A and B are shown apart, each in its own frame.
Chain A
Amino acid sequence: MITVLDIDLLAPERTLPTAPGEAWITAWAGDQILGETRIDGFEPVESDLVMMALALKYRSELFGLRTVRPRKEDPHIAPGDVTVVVCTKDRASYLDGCLLSLGALDPPPGEILVVDNASSDDSTKKVAARHSVRVISAPMAGLNRARNRGWNEATRPVVLFVDDDARAHGSLIAAAARGFTSDRVGAVTGLVLPAELLTYPQLAFERLENGMRKGFQRKLFDARAHPVGLEAFRLGVGTNMAFRLTALRQIGGFMEDIGVGTPIRGGGDLEALYQTIQQGFVVAYEPSAVVRHIHRRTRAGLLSQMRDYGISFNSFLDRRASESRTMRREVERYRRKWHYERHFKRSLKALVRGELLETQMAMAEWRGSMEARARRTA
């Protein structure tokens, strides 16, 4: 078993919990994230040693933060200007944990909305009521429908979307709000770390697929200075993204005929972030805005997730290809590279290394993309 842990180096807890196996430690300096270290297991008596090792590793970052100080800028968005929207369907137990972490946010958001997406019973409503959170119901199944319903009901200028299988880090709202440094920032995405690493598929998702990580550096993306091209997945993930309402209105919200709950099972977040950039907004990546996600625990779950990736990214490419002739040519070139690198080369390499699960993951993604292709030609 692998322990995941947050440690603030500026206000260190003097005693750490026992980590029986490996420990993945996320180091913080106050509300700024520094990075992640993976170390062997330790006992509480070894706390000092662990802290020392961390300080050693992050000495330059700590020193840099202490020396280089930005002039205080007026925040464009205060934590109170944020609405948190959680879309859920028949997963009351997950939702309970999520709402628990949202309740502990410091500073708290302006409001929290739960969108009940055609749940089969009233357990969702009960959980929400226990946390005294407002529930909106979206009777038609589909994650993007639920998201659209959510932001249309929101009363604050920024909407932060969190999935029901995610756990927010305490400073999530503060960090996300900090990301909106200008009116041009249309969306802020954050870092997604594992909430637990109990089973092998969960670990494999982190180790082999690099989880949902996008690095520990703040980044600003736009169409000219820092374009992502077709690799919209570099912009962030739907488990942890915040939009300005103005930006959402301009891009027309989330596409309702794709995403979880439709035949094209995902990609609503990708499309929305891509469109935000296309509309002239800037997307900021804010690694200090951390959400911890419970990855699929079973092998079947992991493989189906990879298959959904294949379907949704393929459909994303299809949509781009239909935009213009030049785009079509570019998409074809990219698609060839994608199949070669991600599916052919990767599965072969994994086979050589004897990592069967990785081969299966690559093949699942490939099958997904082929499925989507077949559906399109049909």
Chain B
Amino acid sequence: MEWLAGSSGSWATVEVDLSEPIEPIPMGGANLLRVTAFFRDRPLGSIELPAPLDPFPASYLADALSRHFGSDLHRMLIGATPDPEATATARTSVVVCTRDRQSSLQRCLKSLSRLDPPASEIIVVDNGTDPSTVEAIVDEFGARYVREPLPGLDRARNRGVSEATGEIVLFTDDDVEVTPGWAGRLAACFDDPLVMAASGMVLAASLDPSARARSEMYATHSRGVRRRVVDGTDVPPVVAGSLGAGSSMSFRTAFIRSLGGFPDELDAGMPTATGGDTYAIYRVLKAGYRVVYEPRAVARHWHRDTDTELERMVRGNGTGLASYLIHLGVAESDREAKFGLLGVSRYLIGRAIRSVSPKRIAQPRLVTQEILGALGAIAAYRASRKITRSRGTVSPGIAEMPTPWLDEVEVSNGHHPSSDFPKLSVIIPTRGRRDLVCRLLRILDSCTYPREKLEVIVCIDGDIDGTKAGINQQDLGLDPRVVVLDSETGANGPAVTRNEGAQAATGNILLFLDDDLAPRTENFLIDHVSAHLGGAQAVSGPCWVDLRHADRYLAQALRNWWVDHNTLLIAQEGTSFTGLSSGNFSVDSEVFGEIGGFVRMPRREDWRLGYDLLRRGHDFRVVGTAAVLQELELDLRTHLQDRRLEGASDFMWSMETPEVLLHLPLASWFDKKQSRTLVRVLIDRPALGDRMIDLGERLMPFLEGIGWRRQYMKLLQYLNSVSYWSGVGGACSGLDQWLALISSVNSLPNFETPIAEISDRTAWSSDLLAGSGYIEIMHCGRTLGLAPRRWGGLTWDSDRFHSKIVDHFGDAALKASGMEQL
């Protein structure tokens, strides 16, 4: 790029698809060329070239592109999975806010009319002074016209949201042109129920005249070519600005409504100039939800074409950035706003230094404007507040926070394959939770199922709080039988309690339901039974959580974990026994008898039952519609105690059947990357784990208090594994026993590492029981390395697992295929 320093002239821009032959580029009098390379619809990046020839010869362009993007292309095409088509079925509303820019609005609407798949509705909010002309243009393109007379971009956006009927609202500006796939690509990002916002890549539509080129060089709208999914639990929310800009972004409509809309004080039309878009993304991250940056959703922005306007825009950027942070401090009392302001000053000082350095990366005049803008932010924010206070706000229709993971999962149609209902026994094990049991019984009472074919058995493991009396007081249509086990200490545990319940049951199908659950639909029982009639011997349903207002970090982390877990479970075809959850689980009573019921263990009795089922060749299914809502205990100590019990149970189970070890978290012992020292110490001295947990527990509220999300999550992960391994240590008599177990696993006859070719996606089928916990990854006849079979909670037949493998082994694969070239 050194050549750019001495060159002069005008720019042409072009987008090139490398999968097609490269054509000569007509330059139209320009002599500098910016090429943005795509492979099909995937952007690879941009390069700048001196292009003194008109037309610019294809051979030069191809040469430059192949040298620059050769390795990117290669990496991408190794193990490339065909992209699933954007099949989002959600209704999308596009909102375009405009102010006195008729000709560019026309261009924008024209591009929106070519969307494929089309948007459900296009709303133009006119914030300008000439309503009749705009209305005529809007009518021409069949969009909806909404008028917002008071100035303010965020106000106009709120007006747009209040009119929107789609589940997803997409924002773009009137000086933007979108590509046909734009809306579909953005909408597809919302398939993940935790995603609340998605933004797209914005390229410069033109770099001519040179003010536009300067604008692109100084403040590009693009945020790179890598797709990013950013989880709010993982980053400080102040970074929102790096994730997208208002010229191409989208939100779940209900989320924006739950915020009460965009803040009136920020963004264009106000003295603060920008910042409203960043603020909305900030709110998504703060609530622990996800934001996707999708570079394949491409839009083109027409930058300002005069230097005066450019300077005003840059000044506005400075004001907006600082105002956004001031707003965080004022409206959210977020302590990180201070750090954010420090960051902004550092960034501006850095830019100022670079602008006077010999390389002249930034332009001094623009930097000055940006600094002046930032300095004026306090005054601007005050002025904005004054204006907004003097007038009312536009409400986008305030709504409850959405729970897309509940709203968008498949809802049962209550279809039942035959009129002949088998007899169903619902077994509810409980201890000391009278109110919860009564609630569950009331919900079951409202479920559809022939009463004569339904029996409910409440199995109380020591009636310590008068549960039996409480149940008898209930006025219910169904008649629950109550079995009380004689236990003061609760020593029986859930496994024995469930088995006792099953003993008392007379039905053909046994449905085990935990007492803290609430079935989501009245067809819940029918869904379980119809899966049995469809041939499954065992059926498990997802346990969802309703933690939409999770402010606390622990709640956010648990919510995201459960939602991911369930989403994956439902999407997967074959399910391993680790997908079984005994809280919401039904089984054929004969099969249950054949297996011999639940084995008494502190935890994992569910997985163990699933394992026995699968080993005997029974069919086990996860049915998404048979869903329940569960109450989570949001207590760190309980959470860690669970991990500890899991560790102990896993160890005891592995001692009996060593081959399961490889499918349990215990297999992380084999992970070459993990340090085994900590595990050794914890197994040897489990008491040390207790001290570490105590310390950690005291540290965590402090971290939450000062807002260190990422450190909090890391510590949580660390404590999880410490509790797990100290649980293992507690159950195990010493390190020798553990090492003996490991060596017996190593000598298992089926300890054969399966081999998979990285570029052959079809070879990645699921294999439930056999083999080791690792897969050997190959390419071109060379071994690239070992991958754990469950990686980050993904099982190895999923597409996400595969893309993770490609990310991780891509470089090694490139090397291997370099050798194959000969």
Q: A67-B18, A224-B7 known; A73 and B70 CB under 8 Å? A: no
The stretch among A15-23, A149-157, A179-187, A291-299 that forms the contact with chain B is A179-187
Known A59-B815, A225-B31; contact A71-B21, beta-carbon cutoff 8 A: yes
B817 at the A/B interface (Cβ < 8 Å)? yes
With an 8 Å Cβ cutoff, the count of chain A residues facing the other chain is 38
A185 to B821 Cα, complex, angstroms? 35
Asked whether A378 is an interface residue with its Cβ less than 8 Å from the other chain, the reply is no
Residue A220 is within 8 A (CB to CB) of chain B in the complex: yes
Q: A219 to nearest B CB, angstroms?
A: 8
CB distance from B161 to the nearest CB of A (A): 44
Say whether B58 contacts A229, CB under 8 Å: no
Contact A224 B9 (CB under 8 A): yes
- Classify chain B's interface size: 35 or more
Contact of B59 among A9, A70, A221, A229 (CB under 8 A): A70
Q: Assuming the A-B contacts A12-B822, A51-B822, A227-B6, are A185 and B53 also in contact, with contact meaning beta carbons closer than 8 angstroms in the complex?
A: yes
* Of B23, B50, B51, most A-chain CB atoms within 10 Å: B50
Which A38-85 residues have a C-beta within 8 angstroms of B? 51-52, 55-65, 67-71, 73
Rounded to whole angstroms, the CA-CA distance of A68 and B70 in the bound complex is 8
- Distance to closest chain B CB from A272 (angstroms): 19
Binds A, one of B60-68, B549-557, B799-807: B60-68
Residue of A nearest to B65 (CB): A68
- Complex CA–CA separation, A64 to B23 (angstroms): 16
A220 CB contact (under 8 Å) in B8, B21, B50, B73: B50
Q: Are B23 and A71 in contact (CB under 8 A)?
A: yes
Given contact pairs A52-B819, A64-B70, A229-B6, A184 touches B62 in the complex (Cβ within 8 A): no
Find A70's partner among B19, B62, B819, B822 (CB 8 Å cutoff): B62
Contacts of B149 in A (CB 8 A): none
User: How far in angstroms is the closest Cβ of chain A from B212?
Assistant: 18
- Shortest CB-to-CB span from A124 to chain B, Å, is 38
Is A218's beta carbon under 8 Å from chain B? yes
Given known pairs A56-B815, A56-B819, A61-B67, the reply for A181 and B59 (CB within 8 Å) is yes
- Please, how many angstroms separate the alpha-carbon atoms of A63 and B819 in the complex? 12
Q: Is B814 on the interface with A (CB-CB < 8 A)?
A: yes
Q: Which residues of A contact B19 (CB under 8 A)?
A: 67
- Whether A222 sits at the interface, judged by CB under 8 Å, is yes
CA–CA, A69 and B64, complex, Å:
11
The minimal Cβ–Cβ distance linking A175 to chain B, given in whole angstroms, is 11
- Residues of chain B within 8 A of A51, CB atoms compared: 822
Q: How many Å lie between the Cα of A225 and that of B66 in the bound state?
A: 22
- Complex interface: chain B residues within 8 A of A178 (CB): 59
* In the complex, residue of chain B having the shortest beta-carbon distance to the beta carbon of A282: B52
Closest B residue to A228 by beta carbon equals B6
A181 to B57, CA, bound (A): 7
Query: What 1/0 mask marks residues of chain B from 1 to 35 whose CB sits below 8 Å from any chain A CB?
Result: 00100111100000000110111100000011000
A217 contacts partner chain B, Cβ-Cβ < 8 Å:
yes
Say yes or no: B21 contacts A59, CB within 8 Å. Answer: no
* A226 adjacent to chain B (CB < 8 Å): yes
Nearest Cβ on chain A to B42's Cβ, whole angstroms: 13
Q: How far is the CA of A62 from the CA of B817 in the complex (A)?
A: 11
Q: Is the CB of B22 within 8 A of A71?
A: yes
Whether B60 pairs with A220 at a CB distance below 8 angstroms is yes
Bound complex: CA A185 to CA B822 (Å): 36
B62 proximity list for chain A (CB < 8 A): 68-70
Chain A residues near B71: list those with CB within 8 A. Answer: 59-60, 63-64
Alpha-carbon gap, A63 to B78, bound state (A): 11
- State whether B7 touches A217 (Cβ < 8 A): no
**Chain A residues positioned under 8 Å from B50 (CB to CB):** 220-222, 225-226
Contact in complex: B59, A282 (CB < 8 Å): no
Q: A199-241 interface mask toward B, CB cutoff 8 Å, 1 = contact, 0 = none?
A: 0000000000000000001101110111101000000000000
- What residues of A have a CB within 8 angstroms of the CB of B814 in the complex? 59-60
Q: Which of A61, A63, A69 has the most CB of B within 10 A?
A: A63
Instruction: Check B821 against A62 for contact (C-beta < 8 Å).
Output: yes
- Assembly CA distance A224 to B51 (angstroms): 10
- Contact assessment for A55 and B821 in the assembled complex, using a CB-CB cutoff below 8 Å: yes
Please measure, in the bound complex, the distance between the C-alpha atom of A58 and the C-alpha atom of B817, giving whole angstroms.
11
Interface residue? B69 (CB, 8 A): yes
A182 to B3, CA, bound (A): 22
B53 and A220 contact, CB distance less than 8 A: yes
Max chain B Cβ within 10 angstroms of own Cβ: one of A56, A64, A67: A64
Write out the residue numbers on chain B whose beta carbons fall within 8 Å of the beta carbon of A56. Answer: 815, 818-819
Question: How far, in whole Å, are A220 and B33 apart by their CA atoms in the complex?
Answer: 12
Q: Known interface pairs A225-B52, A226-B52. Does A60 touch B70 (Cβ–Cβ under 8 Å)?
A: yes
B52 A220 Cβ-Cβ under 8 A: yes
Whether B60 lies near A73 (C-beta < 8 A) is no
Q: Collect the chain A residues with CB atoms within 8 Å of residue B22's CB.
A: 68-71
Chain B residue with the shortest CB-CB distance to A10: B821
User: CA separation between A69 and B18, bound complex, in Å?
Assistant: 8
* Bound-complex Cα distance A12 to B23 (A): 31
Q: What residues of chain B lie closer than 8 Å to A182, measured between beta carbons?
A: 53-54, 57
Q: Which residues of A lie under 8 Å from residue B18 when comparing CB positions?
A: 67-68
- Quote the shortest CB–CB distance from A352 to chain B (angstroms): 25
Q: Which of A305-364 contact B (CB under 8 A)?
A: none
CB-defined contacts of A12 to chain B, threshold 8 Å: 822
Nearest A-chain residue to B70, judged by Cβ? A64
Report chain B residues within 8 Å CB of A57.
818
Question: B-facing mask of A148-192, CB < 8 A → 1, else 0?
Answer: 000000000000000000000000000000100110110000000
B385 located at the interface, meaning its Cβ lies under 8 Å from any Cβ of chain A in the complex? no
Contact between chains at A224 and B52 (CB < 8 Å): yes
- CB contact list, B101-121 vs A, under 8 A: none
**Least Cβ–Cβ distance between B96 and chain A, in angstroms:** 36
- A64 in contact with B57 given A55-B822, A184-B52, A222-B31 (CB within 8 Å): no
Docked Cα-Cα span, A64 to B818, in Å, equals 12
Closest residue of A by beta carbon distance from B74: A63
Within 8 Å by CB of B63, from A71, A184, A218, lies: A218
Asked if B57 and A73 sit within 8 Å, CB to CB, the answer is: yes
Give chain B nearest CB distance to A78 CB in angstroms: 15
| Contact B60 A218, beta carbon cutoff 8 Å | yes
Chain A residues 221-269 with CB under 8 Å of chain B are 221-222, 224-227, 229
Is there contact, CB below 8 Å, between A64 and B51?
no
Contact in complex: A184, B74 (CB < 8 Å): no
Contacts of A229 in B (CB 8 A): 6
> Do the beta carbons of A9 and B822 come within 8 Å of each other?
yes
CB A104 to nearest CB in B, in angstroms, measures 25
Contact residues in B for A73 (Cβ distance below 8 Å): 24, 57-59
> Which of the residues B51, B57, B69 comes within 8 Å of A68, measured between beta carbons?
B69
A63 and B73 contacting across the interface, CB-CB below 8 Å: yes
A52 lies within 8 A of B822 (CB) = yes
Q: How far is the CB of B52 from chain A (nearest CB, A)?
A: 4
Chain B residues, CB < 8 A from A181? 53, 57, 59-60
Which A residues are in CB contact (< 8 Å) with B21? 69-71
Inter-subunit contact B24/A222 (CB<8 Å) = no
Task: With both chains docked as a complex, state the minimum distance between the C-beta of A185 and any C-beta of chain B, in angstroms.
Answer: 7
Are A59 and B821 touching (Cβ within 8 A)? yes
Query: Which residue of chain B lies nearest to A287 when distances are taken between CB atoms in the complex?
Result: B63
Nearest CB of chain B from residue A27's CB, rounded to whole Å = 11
Distance in angstroms from A43 CB to nearest chain B CB is 19
A64–B59 contact, CB under 8 A? Answer: no
Q: Separation in Å of the A30 CB from the closest CB of chain B?
A: 13
Smallest CB-CB A-B distances: 8 pairs? A64-B70, A64-B66, A59-B818, A226-B50, A60-B70, A60-B71, A70-B58, A222-B52
| 7 CB < 8 A contacts A-B | A55-B821, A56-B818, A59-B74, A67-B18, A73-B24, A220-B50, A227-B7
| A residues whose Cβ falls under 8 Å from a Cβ of B | 9, 12, 32, 51-52, 55-65, 67-71, 73, 178, 181-182, 184-185, 217-218, 220-222, 224-227, 229, 282
Other A-B pairs beyond A181-B57, A224-B8, 19, CB < 8 Å? A52-B819, A55-B819, A61-B66, A63-B74, A64-B73, A67-B66, A68-B18, A71-B23, A71-B24, A182-B54, A182-B57, A185-B53, A218-B64, A220-B51, A222-B50, A225-B8, A225-B50, A227-B7, A282-B52
